[in-house]
Amino acid sequence: MKYTYFPGCSLERNAAAYHISTLAVTQALGMELVEVEDWNCCGATEYVSLNLTASYALIARNLAQAAKNTETRELVAPCSACYLNLRKCDHYMAQSPALAEKVNQALAAGGLAYQGGTLRVRHLLDVIVSDIGCDAVAAKVTRPLKGLRIVPYYGCMIVRPGYAGQTAFDNVEQPTTLDTLLTALGAEVVPFSLKAACCGGHMTQISEATGFELIRRLVKAATDGGADLIAALCPMCQLNLDAFQGPMNKHCKTNYHMPVLYFTQLLGLALGMDAKPLGIGSELVDARPALAKIGVAVPLAEPAAAPKKPKRDDKSLPMPRMSGV
């Protein structure tokens, strides 16, 4: 299975762990990734706040470069912001001839061109869950994450917005693909209402109070839910929840200690890989104590307590059936 791969600026350094774990697990799962030739920054949420045509041209250069790999139409991005920008640009260029015209005129100045709809932009999670499939992944698991209580944190940009005409690969409010994947890896998935709530993006730099509050809500909910760690799939989310957890604790006068790992790192561990090559240890809130539960670095701890069985004389009212919705 061939894919063109767009790492994005974060994966170069601050989210290098995401990059190396992605390469490791995709290889193990039989996916062939070819990096986009000489890609540039996607502009994050910054360029589109300054100049419309330039911001789309910046993104479109990447699409044009990616399209040069004629072996596949699939463009995969592990970073949710890059993913959103790439597919939004592709969508609007297909939908709005006026915009496409301008962007292509700009691209022509660099000897490039792109037609909206040429590529299929996918997030890494989508590719693993939809193309490989959780069953195939489960079959390759040699170190099940048994006993590990994990919060599946999607963040906002992977599932939203669902542009008309593009089938969303998961629910925009309460997605479940990462939950399913983590379950297939043997972990216990912690119910988490804020699974698709926003980490705040760059808000810590605009207004500390707002930025830290957004981070606090997530870390608090994960802690209240009894999680051992948070599984993330976006470098911005990981940076906010992990690197900024200390400053947040200081600002909010809290004392949370909730490690945040990339889902690819957890996937790699379940596939039997070692921690260091997956970049584990590069997180600021140390995940290794939590990973002791699955015998990583430290011998196996006691198994988790069995779930409570409901009492006989149960007056409670039935809940609505959720299957088949």
Partner 1 sequence: MIERPRVGVYICHCGSNIAGVVDVAEVAQWAGGLPNVVISRDYKFMCSSLGQELIEKDIQESGVNRVVVASCSPHLHEPTFRNACARAGLNPYLFEMANIREQDSWVTSDKLEATKKAKALVAAAVSRVAHQDALNSLFVPIDPNVLVVGGGVTGIQAALEIANSGHQVYLVEREPSLGGHMAQFDKTFPTLDCSACILTPKMFDAGNHKNIQLLTWSEVEKVEGYIGNFTVTIRKRARYVDESKCNGCGVCQEKCPTKVVDEVFEAGLGYRKAVYVPFPQAVPKFPVIDRENCTFFKKGVCKICQKVCPTGAIDYEQQDTLMTVKVGNIILATGYDLFDARRIPQYGFGRLPNVFTSLEFERMTNAAGPTGGKVVMRDGVTQPKSVAIIHCVGSRDRNYHNYCSAICCMQSLKFAHLVGEKTGADVYQCYIDIRTPAKAYDEFYQRIIKEGVHFVRGKVAEVTDAARGPEEAGKTIVQVEDTLIGKQRRIPVDMVVLSAGLQARADAKEVGKKFGISCSADAWFIEKHPKLDPVATMTDGVFVAGACQGPKDIPASVAQGAAAAARVLSIIGQGQIEIEAATAIVDEESCVGCKECIASCPYTAIEFLEDKQKAHVVEALCKGCGTCVGTCLSKSIKLRHFTDEQLVAEMIGAMQTMKSFETVEV
Partner 2 sequence: MTTTATKQRAPTFFDRVVAETPGDCRLGMCIQCGTCGGSCPSGADMDHTPRALFALINAGMRDAVLRSNTPWYCVSCYYCTVRCPQEVHITDIMYTLKRIAVQEKVFDDSKAPDFSKTFIYWVESYGRAFELGLMGVHMLRHNPFGAFKIAGMGKGMLSKHRMAFKPTRIKQLNSLKAILAKAKELEASA
**Contacting positions for partner 1 (CB under 8 A):** 171, 173-174, 193-194, 197, 217, 220-221, 224, 314-322, 325
Distance of closest approach, residue 184 Cβ to partner 2, in angstroms:
27
Q: Which does 39 bind (CB under 5 to 8 A by kind): partner 2, partner 1, none?
A: partner 2
Q: Which does 109 bind (CB under 5 to 8 A by kind): partner 2, partner 1, none?
A: partner 2
Which CB atom, from 98 or from 319, has the smaller least distance to partner 1?
319
Give all strands (DSSP E) within 208-313, no chain letters: 229-232, 260-262
295, burial (CB in 10 Å: exposed 0-12, middle 13-18, buried 19+): middle
State the first-to-last Cα distance of the chain, in angstroms, to the nearest integer.
32
Residue environment code for 105-126, b if the CB has 16+ CB neighbours within 10 A, otherwise e: ebbeeeebebebebbebbbbbb
Instruction: Please give, one letter per residue, the 3-state secondary structure of 141-193.
Output: CCCCCCCCEEEECCCCCCCCCCCCCCCCCCCCCCCCHHHHHHHHCCCEECCCC
Binder to partner 2 among 28, 73, 106, 169 (CB under 8 A)? Answer: 106
Interface residues for partner 2 in 194-223 (CB under 8 A)? 197-198, 200-203, 205-210, 214
Which CB atom, from 171 or from 180, has the smaller least distance to partner 2?
171
Which CB atom, from 132 or from 248, has the smaller least distance to partner 2?
248
- Tell me the C-alpha distance between 207 and 15, whole Å: 23
**Non-local CB neighbours of 301 within 8 Å, separated by 6+ positions:** 147, 292, 293
Distance of closest approach, residue 246 Cβ to partner 1, in angstroms:
20
Q: Assess 103 for contact with partner 2 (CB under 8 A).
A: yes
Q: Which does 58 bind (CB under 5 to 8 A by kind): partner 2, partner 1, none?
A: partner 2
Interface residues for partner 2 in 31-90 (CB under 8 A)? 38-41, 43-54, 56-58, 61
> What SS3 state is found at 321?
coil
- What's the gap between Cα 200 and its chain centre? 15
Q: Which does 13 bind (CB under 5 to 8 A by kind): partner 2, partner 1, none?
A: partner 2
- Tell me the C-alpha distance between 267 and 17, whole Å: 13
Say if residues 248 and 212 touch (Cβ distance below 8 Å). yes
Q: Which does 165 bind (CB under 5 to 8 A by kind): partner 2, partner 1, none?
A: none
Q: Which does 221 bind (CB under 5 to 8 A by kind): partner 2, partner 1, none?
A: partner 1
- Tell me the C-alpha distance between 33 and 3, whole Å: 5
Q: Assess 92 for contact with partner 2 (CB under 8 A).
A: yes
Interface residues for partner 2 in 118-157 (CB under 8 A)? 156-157
Q: Assess 174 for contact with partner 2 (CB under 8 A).
A: no
Q: CA 124, 182, 169: angle at the middle one, nearest 5?
A: 40
**CA-based torsion, 34, 38, 44, 47: positive or negative:** negative
Q: Which does 317 bind (CB under 5 to 8 A by kind): partner 1, partner 2, none?
A: partner 1
Distance of closest approach, residue 295 Cβ to partner 2, in angstroms:
24
> What SS3 state is found at 212?
helix
Binder to partner 2 among 70, 111, 165, 314 (CB under 8 A)? Answer: 111
Which CB atom, from 138 or from 197, has the smaller least distance to partner 2?
197
Distance of closest approach, residue 205 Cβ to partner 2, in angstroms:
6
DSSP annotation of 9 reads G
Interface residues for partner 2 in 244-283 (CB under 8 A)? 244, 246-247, 250-251, 281-283
